[in-house]
Structure 1
Amino acid sequence: MPANLPPQFFALSAKLKEVKTPEEKISILEEMLAICPKHKGTEKVQKDLKSKIAKLKKQKPKKIKRETLYSIPKEGAGQIVIIGPANSGKSSLLNALTNAKAKTAIYPFTTQIPQPAMMAYENILIQLVDTPSLTKDSPPWLKGILKEADGILAIFDLTKEDLIENVENLKEILNNWGVNNKKIILLGNKIDLKKSQENLKKVGGKYKIKAVSCTAGIGLENLKKEIFNLLEIIRIYSKSPKQALPDFEHPFILKKNSRLSELAIELHQDFISSFKYAKLFTKGSKKPKIVGKDYLLQDQDIIEIHI
Structure 2
Amino acid sequence: MIEAHNIRKEFKTPVVKEGRFSGLRTLFTREYRTKEAVRGISFQVEQGEFVGYIGPNGAGKSTTIKMLTGILHPTSGRVSIGGMNPHKERRSVVNNLGVVFGQRSQLWWDLPVKDSYDILAKMYSVDQADKERRLGQFAELLDLQAFWETPVRKLSLGQRMRADLAAAMLHDPGVLFLDEPTIGLDVNAKRNIRHFLKLINEQFGKTILLTTHDMDDIEQLCNRVMVINNGELSYDGTVRSLRDTIGLPTLITVTFRGPFAIPEQFQKAGEGSRAVPLRVTSAVDNTVTIEVNRREMNTLDIFKELGRWGELDDIDMEDPDFEDVIHKVY
TM-score, normalised relative to structure 1 = 0.27
Q: Whose relative contact order is higher, 1 or 2, with alpha carbons under 8 Å and at least 6 apart?
A: 2
- Compare CA radii of gyration and give the structure with the larger one: 2
Higher strand share: 2
